[in-house]
Amino acid sequence: MTVTAPVDDASPSTSPTPLLPKPDAWRGRYAMRLRVTDLLVLIWVVYGTQIIWFGLGRVDVSVREDSRINEFSYWLFSAILVVIWMAALALVDSRSDRVVGTGTTEYTRVVRASFGVFGGIAIVAFLTRVDVARGYLVIALPAGVLLLVFTRWLWRQWLVAQRQMGRYSAQVLLVGSRQSVAHIANELGRTPTAGYHVVGACVPSGRVAEMIPGTDIPIMGNVNAIDRAIAITGADTIAVTSTDDLPPNKVKEISWSLEGGQQHLVLAPSITDIAGPRIHTRPVSGLPLIHVETPRFTSGQRFSKRMMDLTIAGVGVVIISPLLLVLALVVRLSSPGPVIFRQSRVGHHGQEFEMLKFRSMVVDAEDRLADLKAGLAQDAGNEVLFKMTNDPRVTRVGRFMRRYSLDELPQLFNVLGGSMSLVGPRPPLVSEVASYAEHVHRRFLAKPGITGAWQVGGRSTLSWEDSVRLDLGYVENWSLVGDVVILLRTAKATLAPNGTSL
């Protein structure tokens, strides 16, 4: 991190900022690109549907005799539909920099706006007694939604690549105590694709150009030097990480000093791994109180998750049954021992169950584990989960199956039996549970999964703390949409494997 000029710790917050660079207008550029591609997609979908349904000739929208509206061409109706659809995408802020790049909010807003448009058209058509061809609408809606979401996904892949290189990101100046600044900086550093690039920090005390402990973030001055720090770093976002050590009304002063539309203020409380739907803000006498709801698992949520498990696992077993038979035969012929490896794991509410896998190791693998641990041969995993990159106990066939997670396919029968779910926390060994801290037992509030946040988040490359954080984050913030996202990411990770099996 290069600091181009020192910042006087005594500089008041009202000091002039002649060095303030012109903010990067990446938000506007990216929104314009989305706007252009959205328009092209809608023109292609709407007029393409019209041509498919009616042909190239002139066809008028059917109007009933008692309607006050005269007949008009579908060419005009399609143009109106495109304009309204574009306006709806804008009204729900589907192109806002606050939702693009990460999470499912962007896609949700696109879908909500699209269904709102067609619902509104249906109501208006009913009230004005205009008969719009149902087939035309039935084709245009799903085709438009799918293509809009797909193009947004393509743009997101481009944006993620840019953010990996530090571009198209908010340039963040952290303000708060050293400890809170270091904590928030590390959390933001975990996911650079979220679009927050930390460029400096202002703390209550400290020498200019010192580094925040454990990071490469320079201290740009004290909390009275924020204006000058912005000028030097080019920050466009101020993130307040704690207010305990700040003067009274300091956050309000920071808010007043920022340039509207160009600079942003973010409050970053030390509440991590809490999903948005659980957080609510309630203003009381001008004080924004943040309410964090405790996680609740309703009967409807459990039912919907179970139905998804049964449907996908049942269909999956039927479809891949030939592959299961081939793998079973290969395992049987490749090395002596049973085809299926059965292992006791701890699942829902701490109950033990028998997890099924295709055997990928030699028969005496468990007996040889103690010798491997004694020889300190572990070069993967973490302090609780024993892993080896080239485990000598793994057979040649087992190594191939593990690379593509084929050894885990029999766990679909665990899902059908109800002891596991498609998505959930990692099912631990009984011996591992003995070393758990008290809070880690919260992972047993949900059924263990074939895949989960731990698998798409790094698998054996994760530290124990990161593994626990991902599992507890999943348990406390579960959603059906989140499960679908994890399943899609798992499919992608399986096709491009970079880790080891369970």
Token pair of 148 as six digits: 């809009």
Q: What is the dihedral of CA 150, 152, 158, 162, to 10 degrees?
A: -160
Going along the chain from its start, the domains and CATH numbers come out as: 26-164 (no CATH), 170-292 (3.40.50.20), 299-495 (no CATH)
Residue-wise DSSP of 428-490: -BHHHHTT--GGGGGGGGS--EEE-HHHHTTGGGS-HHHHHHHHHHHHHT--HHHHHHHHHHH
Q: Could you count the other beta carbons within 10 Å of the beta carbon of residue 77?
A: 20
pLDDT of residue 19: 43
Token pair of 101 as six digits: 């790049």
Q: How far apart are alpha carbons 322 and 326 in whole angstroms?
A: 6
- Percent helix, strand, coil in the chain, to 5, is 50, 15, 35
DSSP, collapsed to helix, strand or coil, labels residue 266 as strand
- Give me the helices (H) in 97-235, please: 105-128, 134-164, 178-190, 226-233
pLDDT of residue 71: 67
Q: What is the pTM of this model?
A: 0.65
Token pair of 460 as six digits: 């054996």
State which H helix or E strand residue 35 sits in.
Answer: helix 26-54
Q: Which residues contact 78 (CB under 8 A, 6 or more apart)?
A: 46, 47, 50
Residue numbers in the chain where pLDDT is lower than 70: 1-24, 62-71, 206, 209, 259-261, 269-288, 290-296, 369-389, 457-462, 496-502
Q: How far apart are alpha carbons 329 and 142 in whole angstroms?
A: 43
Q: How far apart are alpha carbons 91 and 184 in whole angstroms?
A: 32
Percent of the chain with pLDDT over 90: 32
Q: What is the dihedral of CA 248, 254, 256, 259, to 10 degrees?
A: 180
pLDDT of residue 48: 93
DSSP conformation class of 57: S
pLDDT of residue 12: 42
pLDDT of residue 288: 67
pLDDT of residue 274: 59
